Amino acid sequence: MEPVTFVTAGIVALSSIVRMWTWQRTVRHLPPGSRIVDLGRRGVVIEVGGQGDGASR
Using one digit for the tens of pLDDT, what is the confidence trace for 6-57?
788 888 888 888 888 887 777 777 767 777 777 777 777 767 665 555 555 5
pLDDT for 28 equals: 75
Q: How far apart are CA 14 and CA 1, in angstroms?
A: 19
DSSP assigned state of 30: P
List pLDDT tens digits, range 4-16.
787 888 888 888 8
The reported pLDDT for the residue numbered 5 is: 80
